[in-house]
């Protein structure tokens, strides 16, 4: 075997298949983050649905009748009434969603940045290109992930239906996909996709633009190089930005 072929075999995965490795790494990071934060997402969903249901049923007296008050009491109520593991009810489609969404948007953004738009002569990626690229990447990633997003929200509400004495709609993730597909067809899996991609476009306009800007600043103004450590630090700062975002676009999915 020739020397060039030996060198090719020794290349890291990230060098041999940069797009595939970017997809896998983004998906793995999103999975870990989702497992850690999913109970917060579930309690948020329960509180939102509880408020909507109480207002529709009782009007102004809804506050006095609400069984859950606040994130902590909601989480404790779920543990006492349904069990500790129910804090992760619906986590499987959530992981599916984040693997598809995070991997898809990052690969799309990298492709737009490197191939479609291109960097300037000083290797800097202009702000306006980051904004457009981030919005387009968010739209594509969310559109691909919408079926898993729909199933995630629907399965989160199964525990609430059980407490209300209503029959459960789904036996598991695959049954949920099959039932939604049978009742609504292919289009049913993309219910609520318009507000979802609108939200994703705005979110990614912020976080991908912030990510690129922070990474470029760190490379130029600190001893850090353009490597995985710099990428991780930039991502942490973007995560701090995302922590203060609201999530109003998912109400449509919760009602259907």
Q: How much is the mean pLDDT over the chain?
A: 76
Give the pLDDT confidence score for residue 141 in this predicted structure.
92
How much of the chain is in helix, strand and coil states, percent to nearest 5?
80, 0, 20
Rounded CA-CA distance 16/8 in Å is 8
Question: 69 with 102, same domain?
Answer: no
Token pair of 108 as six digits: 């799309």
Question: 197 with 244, same domain?
Answer: yes
Q: The domain containing residue 73 runs over which residues?
A: 1-88
Rg of the chain over Cα atoms, rounded to whole angstroms, equals: 21
Question: 119 with 209, same domain?
Answer: no
Please tell me what DSSP assigns to residue 224: -
- Virtual CA dihedral for 250, 254, 255, 256, nearest 10 degrees? 100
Domain end marker among 173, 191, 209: 191
pLDDT digits 0-9 by tens, 74-87: 888 888 888 898 88
pLDDT digits 0-9 by tens, 152-206: 878 777 766 766 677 878 888 888 888 888 998 999 999 889 999 999 999 888 8
Question: 197 with 241, same domain?
Answer: yes
Phi, then psi, of 226 in degrees rounded to 5: -80, 80
Give the pLDDT confidence score for residue 203 in this predicted structure.
87
Which are the contacts of 50, defined by CB distance < 8 A and separation ≥ 6?
66, 67, 68, 160
Share of the chain above pLDDT 70, in %: 71
Q: By three-state DSSP, how is residue 233 classified?
A: helix
Label residues 241-254 b or e (16+ Cβ within 10 Å = b). eeeeeeeebbebbb
Question: 226 with 173, same domain?
Answer: no
Contact (CB, 8 A) for 97 and 156: no
Question: 94 with 185, same domain?
Answer: yes
- What's the sign of the alpha-carbon dihedral 28, 33, 39, 40? negative
DSSP string, 118-174: ---TTS---HHHHHHHHHHHHHHHHHHHHHHHHHHHHHHTHHHHHHTTPPPS-SSHH
Question: 34 with 11, same domain?
Answer: yes
- Helix (H) or strand (E) segment spanning residue 254: helix 251-255
pLDDT digits 0-9 by tens, 122-159: 666 778 888 898 999 999 999 999 998 888 878 777 76
Question: 111 with 179, same domain?
Answer: yes
Question: 95 with 181, same domain?
Answer: yes
Label residues 209-239 b or e (16+ Cβ within 10 Å = b). bbbbbbbbebbeeeeeeeeeebeeebbeebe
Contact (CB, 8 A) for 234 and 208: no
Question: 186 with 196, same domain?
Answer: no
Question: 84 with 107, same domain?
Answer: no
Domain end marker among 88, 113, 128: 88
Per-residue pLDDT band for 248 (boundaries 50, 70, 90) equals very low
Question: 223 with 236, same domain?
Answer: yes
């Amino acid at each position: 075997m020739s020397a060039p072929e030996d060198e090719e075999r020794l290349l890291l995965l990230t060098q041999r298949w940069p797009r595939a490795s970017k997809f896998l790494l983004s998906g793995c990071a999103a999975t870990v983050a989702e497992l850690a934060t999913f109970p917060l997402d579930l309690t948020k969903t329960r509180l939102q649905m509880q408020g909507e249901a109480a207002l529709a049923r009782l009007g102004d007296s809804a506050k006095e009748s609400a069984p859950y008050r606040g994130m902590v009491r909601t989480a404790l109520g779920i543990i006492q009434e349904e069990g500790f593991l129910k804090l992760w009810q619906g986590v499987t489609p959530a992981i599916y969603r984040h693997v598809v969404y995070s991997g898809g948007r990052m690969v799309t953004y990298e492709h737009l940045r490197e191939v479609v738009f291109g960097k300037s002569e000083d290797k800097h990626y202009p702000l306006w290109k980051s904004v457009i690229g981030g919005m387009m990447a968010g739209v594509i990633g969310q559109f691909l992930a919408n079926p898993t997003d729909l199933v995630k929200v629907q399965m989160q509400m199964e525990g609430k239906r059980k407490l209300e004495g209503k029959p459960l709609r789904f036996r598991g993730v695959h049954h949920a996909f099959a039932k939604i597909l049978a009742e609504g067809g292919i289009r049913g899996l993309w219910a609520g996709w318009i507000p979802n991609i609108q939200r994703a476009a705005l979110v990614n306009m912020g976080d991908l633009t912030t990510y690129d800007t922070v990474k470029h600043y760190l490379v130029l103004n600190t001893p850090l190089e353009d490597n995985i450590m710099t990428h991780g630090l930039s991502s942490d700062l973007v995560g701090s930005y995302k922590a203060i975002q609201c999530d109003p676009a998912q109400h449509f999915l919760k009602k259907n």
